Chain A
Amino acid sequence: MMIATTAAPSRPAPDLPEGPSRVPGLPPREPADHRRSRNRRSAGRPGASLAVNGILLLGVAYMVLPLLWLLFAVTKDAKGLYGSSAFSPGGAFVENLQQLMTQDGGIFWRWLGNSVLYAGIGALVCGFVALMAGYAFDKFSFRGKNGLYGFVLVGVLIPNTATVIPLYLLAASVGATNTIWAVLIPAFCNPFSVYLARVFSAGYLPDETLEAARVDGAGPIRSFFSIGLPMLVPGFVTIVLFQFVAIWNNFMLPLIMLQDRDLFPSSVGIALWQSQVQQNPEFSTLVIAGSFVSILPLVLAFIGLQRFWRSGLSAGSVK
């Protein structure tokens, strides 16, 4: 127990490489698997192996079966959904997608487009603004820095949904509800992204590089764009990815801000259809097909961008 309190907190996140040796512009390296040799040595007991891997497989089943259910459900018509065995395919996949595409004049594609617009633009702007702020907090020294940074951290601690209704009240008082700005402007601002940006700036961008640039006569703004920004690309991608997912998944804010169905993102649109299922069970195939289509891009993004969310999660867990 004595050892317990010493080591871990002061260690840097394993994904953050150690300063100047990094090649700028490349994604962060995978954590070194420095414990593989230890792992091999004790891998001798078949009973323990069975238990460990067995429980892990149960966990995987818990996580994957609901998604598998969705995969099969999207192939069934309304009758098959209630009448056939859950993990058997039906023959209505194409019809379901066609119905999804044509329902209410193809409004689902509009919703999906809105999701892409809100999450894409929101995340890019948020990432850029946060990167500038995190960079300033890491590299510049000025009076009141700690106080200002503490202010940002307080922002991290306030739950989003507690500010949604106040945000609505303010937006209503200036007549900004039911516009894309009511959804976009809050998406531009995420204090946690500033926190991540500061961690990334400290991890990826050695002070000496910037000092060298300044000695060579580059001004602070030029240094940021020509040296800081390229070296912070992996951090930028990570922050954008996290914010993209957060905006894509946000439900309460667009639900409250938007009344015009044409402005809905897919989450609110699908929830609207779901609320009609009780009067009209036919809507359940629409809801399921819509859910399937709208999680596909995110699941693929997560599989393709593994190293970024990993580095984001570990950077987020550093003190």
Chain B
Amino acid sequence: MSVRLADRAPRTTRHPIAGTGGRTAAIFLTPFFVLFLVAMIAPVVYAIGMSLFAERRSGLGFGGTETEFVGFGNYVDVLSSETFVAGFGRLALYCLLYIPVLLGTALLFALLLDAAVAKAKRALQLLLFLPHAVPGVIAALIWAYLYTPGVSPFVSALESGGIQIDFLSVHMVLPSMVNIAVWEWAGYNMIILFTALQAVPREVLEAARVDGAGEIRTALWIKTPLIAPSLGIALLFTVIGSLQLFTEPTILSSATTAVTSTWVPNMWAYDAAFNRNNLPQAAAASIILALVAGVLSWVVTRFASKGRA
């Protein structure tokens, strides 16, 4: 009650309608920002702080540990760790392969569904989207079996065709992982792009037809540029998503020795925290990953908004 009364009196000049000003907004915003502070800001600040210190065992390790300020020492250690850099290299390679394949597949399906001759569009959309309802852990498990010779119908089908592929070998495991992620996310992105295609104005497409453009040319040179903003959003979320890579390699690491415990940066940080008990380095690795994600997101956002202007 008191809040409402206080809100009314002095603010009426700036806000002709009572109760649309800052104090009422604060009531509505406080729960979220308290959670935001506790669940995102405070942990990151705490981790930054922690990453600037190191724990040194005094004496022979019996005298307990001392905390010592090391500045960017942990960051230097992390960035000069061969396994961390190799992990980042794998992640980069994964992104280079995954992002074009994913968005290409999603765009292809969206354009095909949008084509005049496509049938049963609603049912097809649902079926193409269905893998997205499967949790990442389960998706990785299903595919782990589908990559295993003796269990997989696909491996045996390829073998009877004379093709021998070990999907879990050192060289194939990265593309195999890309396949799992494409399977999970292509339908999701397809729906975003298909929805955008539905909003393409009819007159534009009719004009193209009058000018003699066929379906394929219309799809590539009229429809695709028109949905560039949605493609930009899909790209942004795919970039953020790819950097999170953890679940699939962690699950596959129990199926193949080709995936080590430090295979990608997230796994490296996990390994640092829980196997090597080096929490400051784990913190530093997480901060590096968040920074890279932030910079990449910013670049993509800039790039996408340029495409729009």
> Measured between C-beta atoms, what is the minimum distance from B129 to chain A in Å?
7
B101 contacts A by Cβ under 8 Å? no
Contact of B40 with A67 in the complex, beta carbons under 8 Å? no
Cβ of B183 < 8 Å from any Cβ of A? yes
Chain B residues engaging chain A, CB cutoff 8 angstroms: 4, 7, 15, 17-22, 24-29, 31-33, 35-36, 38-40, 42-44, 46-47, 50, 105, 108-109, 112-113, 115-119, 124, 126-138, 141-146, 150-153, 156, 183, 186-188, 191-192, 195-196, 198-202, 204-207, 209, 215, 221-222, 225-230, 233-234, 236, 240-241, 243-244, 246-247, 250-251, 254, 266, 269-270, 273-274, 279, 282-283, 285-287, 289-290, 293-294, 297-298, 301, 308
Docked CA distance A132–B34 (Å): 13
Q: Which applies to chain B's interface (DSSP): helix, strand, loop or mixed? A: helix
Chain A residues within 8 Å of B, Cβ to Cβ:
1, 3-5, 7-9, 11, 13-15, 31, 33-35, 38-43, 45, 48-49, 52-53, 55-56, 59-60, 62-64, 66-67, 69-70, 73, 81-82, 85-87, 129-130, 132-133, 135-137, 139-143, 145, 148, 152, 154-155, 157-170, 173, 185-186, 188-189, 191, 194, 211, 214, 219-221, 223-224, 245, 248-249, 251-252, 256, 267-268, 270-271, 274-275, 277-278, 284, 287-288, 291, 294-295, 298-299, 301-303, 306, 309-310, 313-314, 316-317, 319
Q: Given the complex of chains A and B, what is the CA–CA distance between A165 and B266 in angstroms? A: 9
Whether A14 touches B117, Cβ cut-off 8 Å, given contacts A161-B246, A249-B136, A302-B130, is no
Given contacts A133-B29, A140-B24, A163-B43, contact A188 B35 (CB under 8 A): yes
Residue of A nearest to B5 (CB): A219
Given contacts A159-B293, A317-B195, contact A214 B138 (CB under 8 A): no
The CA-CA distance from A284 to B142 in the complex, in Å, is: 11
CA distance A28 to B113 in the complex (A): 22
User: Measured between alpha carbons, how far is A70 from B132 in the docked complex, in Å?
Assistant: 15
Q: Identify A152's interface contact among B36, B115, B205, B254, CB under 8 A.
A: B36
Cα–Cα, bound, A306→B126 (Å): 8
- Cβ of A158: which chain B residues have Cβ within 8 Å of it? 40, 44, 290, 293-294
Instruction: Provide the bound-state CA to CA distance between A154 and B33, in Å.
Output: 13
In the bound assembly, the distance between CA atoms of A70 and B135 in angstroms comes to 14
Instruction: Determine how close the nearest CB of chain A comes to the CB of B110; give it in whole angstroms.
Output: 11
Total A-B residue contacts, Cβ distance less than 8 Å? 343
Assembled-state Cα–Cα distance A267/B282 (Å)? 24
Does A66 contact B131, Cβ atoms closer than 8 Å?
A: yes
Instruction: Establish whether residues B112 and A56, one from each chain, have CB atoms under 8 Å apart when the complex forms.
Output: yes
Q: Is the CB of B141 within 8 A of A291?
A: yes
Which listed residue, A4, A64, A298, touches B133 by the CB 8 Å rule?
A298
Q: Are B18 and A214 in contact (CB under 8 A)?
A: yes
Q: How far is the CA of A169 from the CA of B115 in the complex (A)?
A: 51
Q: Which residue of B lies closest to A269 (CB)?
A: B137
A-side contacts of B285, CB under 8 Å: 165
How distant is A243 from chain B, measured CB to nearest CB, in Å? Answer: 13
Q: Which residues on A sit within 8 Å (CB–CB) of B151?
A: 81-82, 86
B216 CB to nearest A CB, Å? 9
Residues in A whose Cβ lies below 8 Å from that of B146: 66, 69
**A166–B32 CB distance below 8 A:** no
A55 to B117, CA, bound (A): 12
Q: Is the CB of B191 within 8 A of A133?
A: no
Q: Which 9 A/B pairs are nearest by Cβ-Cβ distance?
A: A86-B153, A220-B19, A166-B47, A142-B22, A4-B225, A136-B28, A166-B43, A162-B290, A189-B35
| CA distance in complex: A69, B202 (Å) | 42
Shortest Cβ distance from residue A172 to the other chain B in the assembled complex, whole angstroms? 8
Q: A133-B29, A159-B244, A165-B273 are in contact. Are A85 and B153 (CB under 8 A)?
A: yes
Contact A223 B192 (CB under 8 A): no
A267-B28 in contact given A4-B222, A159-B243 (Cβ < 8 Å): no
A275–B202 alpha-carbon span in the complex (Å): 54
Residue from B26, B108, B195 in contact with A13 in the complex, judged by beta carbons closer than 8 Å: B195
Report if A267-B31 is in contact (Cβ < 8 Å); known contacts: A69-B142, A303-B126: no
